[in-house]
C-alpha cells in the first residue's frame, strides 16, 4: 500500500470506529433527558422511584459510551497534522473555525454540563438538575452541527476565496448555512435517534426474554425506544432522499454512481473543468455503503412498526423469540449508519475538498514506514477502546438497574435543614463518590 492509501485507511478506520460512539451518544442523550424530566415532575412517589431508576440505568450506559468516545475523539484530532498537512495548509483558515467551535462545545461545555449532572443527584434543585441534562443534549447536537459544517465545506466548499494557493474564510454565514451540511445534519439526527431507540428497545426486550422482575421499568423503556425508533427510522429515509438533489447539484459524479447512470458523462465534464485524471470514486464501496444503509434502514423501519403493533397488543413482552429479534437489531442500526458515512466520504473521491484539493495532494510528506506504524497503532488503540466500551455497556446492561452507579446514594447528615423546594438540605440522598 502507498503512503496515501495508509493515511486513508487510518482515517477511515478511526473515524468509522469513533462514529459508533457518536451515533449512540446522540441517540441516547435526548431519551435520558426525557426520562429525567418525567421522573423529576412525577407526583406519584412509586412511579417517580421507577422513573428515577430508569433514568439512572440508561444514563449509566450513556455515560460509559460518552467517556470512552471522548478519548477516540481527542486522538482523531492529531491525524490532521500527522497525515493530512496539505489539508491544513490549504483549508486550515476555513476548516479550522468550525472544528475549534466543536472542540469548545463538545470537550468543554458538554463535558462540564454532564459532570454537573452526574454529581448533581441529591445536591441540586430538580429544575436545575433537569436543565443540565437538556444542556448536555443541546451541546451534543451543537457539536454534531459544527462537525458537519466542517465536513460540509469538504463536500461543497462555500464562503471562501483562494489567494496564493490558500483558502481564506470570507463569509462565515455561508459556511454555517451550507445546504450540504444542514440536510446532512437532519439525516444524522434521525439516524442517531433510530440507533438510540433500537438500542433501548433491544436491551429492554432482552430483559423481558430473560424474565425480568423490573417489568414496569423495562416496559416503559421499551415503549419509548419502540416509538422513537419507529418514527425516526421512517423520517430518516425521507430526509435521506432530500439529499439527492443537493448531491446532484454539487457532486455530479457521486450522483451518477448512486444512480448507476451517466458516469462517463460526469467524467468527461470533470476532465474539462479540472484537467486530466480519474474522477470516478470506488463504485463498489459506494454501492455497498448505500445498499447496507437502505436495506437495513428499511428493515429496521418495518420491524419497529411491527413492534409498535405488538406492543399495543401486549405480544412484544410475551413472545420470547420476538424479544430476541428486537435485541438482534441493535448492531444493524450501527452498520446502517456506517454505510451512510461510507457513501458520503468515499463518494466524493478523489477530492478531499471537492473541486479544490485532491486526496493525493493533501497527504503529509511522511514516510510510508511512519504511516504504517501510526496506522497500526491508531487502529489497535481504537479497536481496544471499542471492545472496552461494549464490554462495559454489555456488563452493565445485563446486570440491570441494580448495577447503576450514577446517583448511588448514602444519607445526608441529619442536622441539615429541610428545603421543600428540593435543593441541598432537603434530606435527599447525596451521591456516594
Got the DSSP string for 189-248? HHHHHHHHHHHHHHHHHHHHHTT-S-HHHHHHHHHHHHHHHHHHHHHHHHHHHHHHHHHH
Q: Whose grid coordinates read 454565514? A: 173
Where is average pLDDT lowest: 103-112, 135-144, 189-198, 334-343?
Answer: 103-112
DSSP states of 234-296: HHHHHHHHHHHHHHHHH-HHHHHHHHT--HHHHHHHHHHHH-SS-----HHHHHHHHHHHHHH
pLDDT of residue 409: 56
Q: Is the pLDDT of residue 430 over 50?
A: no
Higher pLDDT: 212 or 324? It is 324
Closest CA to 227 of 293, 296, 301: 301
Strands 351-353 and 166-169 turn out to be unpaired
Q: Using 50, 70 and 90 to split pLDDT, how confident is the model at 118?
A: very high
Going by C-alpha positions, the residue among 73, 322, 80, 377 that lies closest to residue 208 is: 322
pTM exceeds 0.75: yes
* Residue 433 confidence (pLDDT) above 60: no
* CA dist 142 → 98, 105, 190 (Å): 11, 7, 15
Q: In the prediction, which pLDDT does 432 show? A: 39
State yes or no: cis peptide before 208, omega within 30 of 0. Answer: no
| Section 216-237 average pLDDT | 94
Average pLDDT value for residue range 7-27: 92
Handedness of CA 384, 13, 389, 298 (dihedral sign): negative
* Per-residue model confidence (pLDDT) at position 431: 42
Angle of CA points 259, 262, 268, to nearest 5°: 140
Q: How far is CA 191 from the centre of its chain?
A: 8
* pLDDT at 155 > cutoff 50: yes
Secondary structure letter of residue 342 according to DSSP: H
Which positions ≥6 away from 350 have C-beta within 8 Å?
277, 278, 279, 281, 358, 359, 360
**Top-confidence residue, 411 or 9:** 9
In this model, does residue 426 exceed pLDDT 70?
no
In the prediction, which pLDDT does 313 show? 65
Residue 422 is placed in which grid cell?
A: 428540593
> Is residue 418 scored above 60 in pLDDT?
no
Q: Is the pLDDT of residue 413 over 50?
A: no
How many percent of the chain have pLDDT more than 70?
93
Give the pLDDT of residue 321.
Answer: 86
Instruction: With cut-offs at 50, 70 and 90, classify the pLDDT of residue 365.
Output: confident
Task: Report which of residues 92 and 312 the model is more confident about.
Answer: 92
Angle, helices 3-40/330-346, rounded to nearest 10 degrees: 130
Amino acid at each position: 500500500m502507498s503512503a496515501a492509501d495508509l493515511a486513508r485507511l487510518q482515517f477511515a478506520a478511526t473515524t468509522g470506529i469513533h462514529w459508533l460512539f457518536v451515533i449512540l451518544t446522540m441517540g441516547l442523550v435526548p431519551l435520558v433527558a426525557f426520562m429525567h424530566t418525567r421522573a423529576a415532575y412525577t407526583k406519584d412517589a412509586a412511579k417517580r422511584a421507577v422513573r428515577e431508576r430508569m433514568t439512572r440505568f440508561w444514563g449509566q450506559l450513556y455515560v460509559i459510551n460518552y467517556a470512552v468516545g471522548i478519548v477516540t475523539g481527542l486522538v482523531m484530532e492529531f491525524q490532521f497534522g500527522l497525515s493530512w498537512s496539505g489539508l491544513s495548509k490549504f483549508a486550515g483558515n476555513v476548516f479550522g473555525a468550525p472544528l475549534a467551535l466543536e472542540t469548545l462545545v463538545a470537550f468543554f461545555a458538554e463535558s462540564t454540563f454532564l459532570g454537573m449532572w452526574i454529581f448533581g443527584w441529591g445536591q441540586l434543585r430538580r429544575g436545575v438538575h433537569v436543565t443540565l441534562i437538556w444542556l448536555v443534549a443541546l451541546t451534543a447536537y451543537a457539536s454534531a452541527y459544527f462537525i458537519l459544517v466542517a465536513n460540509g465545506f469538504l463536500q461543497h466548499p462555500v464562503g471562501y476565496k483562494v489567494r496564493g494557493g490558500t483558502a481564506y474564510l470570507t463569509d462565515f454565514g455561508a459556511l454555517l448555512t451550507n445546504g450540504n451540511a444542514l440536510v446532512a445534519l437532519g439525516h444524522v439526527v434521525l439516524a442517531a435517534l433510530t440507533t438510540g431507540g433500537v438500542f433501548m428497545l433491544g436491551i429492554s426486550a432482552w430483559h423481558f426474554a430473560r424474565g425480568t422482575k423490573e417489568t414496569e421499568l423495562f416496559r416503559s423503556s421499551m415503549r419509548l425506544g419502540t416509538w422513537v425508533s419507529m418514527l425516526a427510522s421512517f423520517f430518516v429515509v425521507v430526509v435521506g432522499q432530500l439529499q439527492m438533489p443537493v448531491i446532484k447539484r454539487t457532486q455530479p459524479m457521486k450522483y451518477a454512481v448512486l444512480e448507476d447512470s451517466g458516469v462517463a458523462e460526469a467524467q468527461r465534464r470533470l476532465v474539462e473543468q479540472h484537467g486530466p485524471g480519474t474522477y470516478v470514486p470506488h463504485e463498489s464501496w459506494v454501492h455497498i455503503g448505500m445498499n447496507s444503509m437502505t436495506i437495513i434502514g428499511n428493515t429496521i423501519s418495518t420491524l419497529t412498526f411491527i413492534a409498535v403493533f405488538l406492543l399495543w397488543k401486549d405480544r412484544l413482552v410475551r413472545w420470547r423469540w420476538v424479544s430476541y429479534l428486537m435485541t438482534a437489531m441493535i448492531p444493524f442500526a450501527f452498520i446502517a449508519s456506517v454505510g451512510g458515512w461510507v457513501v458520503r466520504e468515499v463518494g466524493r473521491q478523489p477530492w478531499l475538498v471537492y473541486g479544490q484539493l485532491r486526496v493525493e495532494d493533501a497527504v503529509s510528506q511522511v514516510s510510508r514506514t511512519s504511516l504504517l506504524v501510526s496506522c497500526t497503532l491508531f487502529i489497535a488503540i481504537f479497536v481496544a477502546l471499542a471492545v472496552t466500551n461494549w464490554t462495559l455497556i454489555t456488563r452493565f446492561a445485563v446486570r440491570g438497574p441494580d448495577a447503576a452507579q450514577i446517583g448511588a446514594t448514602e444519607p445526608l447528615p441529619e442536622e441539615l435543614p429541610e428545603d421543600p423546594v428540593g435543593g441541598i438540605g432537603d434530606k435527599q440522598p447525596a451521591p456516594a463518590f
